[in-house]
Amino acid sequence: MYRFPFSKPPFPGEMTEIALGIKWLRFPLPYRLDHINIYLIEDDGGWCVLDAGIHDEHTLKLWKAVLSGPLSDSHLTRLIVTHHHPDHIGAAGWLCHEAGIPLSISQTAYLACANISLDPGSPQDRQFYDFYLSHGMAPEVAELMGTNGLEYLRKVSPLPNTFLRLLSGDTLTIGARKFRVLTGDGHAPEQVMLYCAEDCLFFSADQVIAKISPNVSVWPSEPDGDPLGHFLRTARRIRENLPDDVLVLPGHQLPFYGLHERCNDLVEHHEHRCDLIGEACSGKHLTVSDLVPVVFPRELNIHQLGFAFSETLAHVNRMLRRAELTKAVADDGVIRYCKADHPGSS
């Protein structure tokens, strides 16, 4: 059973004390997932910030209100960003500049963000468009996928030119506390999580969230990638390496107890989706786009369709790795999948 020690999140601009020297803020997001959690960890001479929020007017206004309100008597000391998604890294460059603080982040997250900034038009490459069409995607959705880089930059302020690299296995001293740095994959590459053994606290970023299964997507730059394999491996590793009695402090939704159960549930959730795909492909040859409504039976708008496609392909690629599906390319280039007669394992 999950337990939620805080029944409500803090109001935007206010802070909830999680433990002595740990504060929780909540900022709005302009999405269906309409909020992000931001944490402050007491540091020598002030507060270390964990994640920055998206780069939009609302978030900057809230940061200014927090800096001149509840934090007006203290300083920020540094910013840690868990991963390169815009809701976490978006305001990072702005905040580092505004507060005069350094950025700590995994190398992959820093470079992923920098890479999009260097060439935001690259998702419009013909090769990527053809990739989507080969999986049965409608041209209008494929075209929208091409705008991902430009969309990303609309929500992300330019990063500082320098950063401090966080690496799995590092010990990070923040004020009086020591944290072990863990990194996870599948939702975002080299996503940073922090574990404080002494106080049983686990900042899990978007890797383990109470009520949401984090998006796990194949992107056209790595069409045969296996992010779901990485995600499942990370969930198992967290369950094996961390105790069950930690307070999980995620990037979205409420803090909770029940880490091991949540890791098990996430694995089960994705295995169930693989089962659905296997059943649908039994004796039939289907494209990834054919499989989207099997995995996501609800009505999807054109934006959600892109994410749903990428997540469905993540399951297909995992199943191909386990030889549970076979792949066939038709003369017109369209790729279809069928359930394998004798699945192996990997």
Closest CB to Zn ion among residues 190, 206: 206
Closest CB to Zn ion among residues 46, 306: 306
Closest CB to Zn ion among residues 252, 339: 252
Q: How far is the CB of 54 from Zn ion (least distance, A)?
A: 11
Q: How far is the CB of 336 from Zn ion (least distance, A)?
A: 31
Q: How far is the CB of 183 from Zn ion (least distance, A)?
A: 14
Beta bridge pairs of residue 326: 338
Residue closest to 132 by CA, chosen among 148, 108, 113, 114: 148
Angle at 137 between CA 224 and CA 311, to 5 degrees: 50
Window contacting Zn ion (CB under 5 A); options: 77-85, 96-104, 170-178, 333-341: 77-85
Residue closest to 287 by CA, chosen among 311, 323, 322, 316: 316
318 binds Zn ion (CB under 5 A): no
Residue identified by tokens 């299964």 is: 213
206 binds Zn ion (CB under 5 A): yes
Q: How far is the CB of 90 from Zn ion (least distance, A)?
A: 11
| Token duo for residue 145 | 């996928």
Closest CB to Zn ion among residues 85, 270: 85
Angle at 18 between CA 17 and CA 22, to 5 degrees: 80
* Beta carbons of 39 and 51 less than 8 angstroms apart: yes
Window contacting Zn ion (CB under 5 A); options: 8-16, 140-148, 198-206, 236-244: 198-206
Of the candidate residues 26, 85, 315, 339, the single one contacting Zn ion (CB under 5 A): 85
Q: How far is the CB of 182 from Zn ion (least distance, A)?
A: 16
Window contacting Zn ion (CB under 5 A); options: 66-74, 141-149, 199-207, 275-283: 199-207
Beta strand 46-50 with 247-250: parallel, antiparallel or unpaired? unpaired
Q: How far is the CB of 94 from Zn ion (least distance, A)?
A: 19
Q: How far apart are CA 293 and CA 41, in angstroms?
A: 42
Closest CB to Zn ion among residues 187, 315: 187
Crossing angle of helices 227-241 and 302-321, rounded to 10°: 80
For 232, residues 6+ apart whose C-beta sits below 8 A from its C-beta are 186, 267, 270, 318
Window contacting Zn ion (CB under 5 A); options: 80-88, 173-181, 256-264, 324-332: 80-88
Residues binding Zn ion: what is the number (CB under 5 A)?
A: 2
Check residue 298 and report its DSSP letter: S
Site of interaction with Zn ion (CB under 5 A): 85, 206
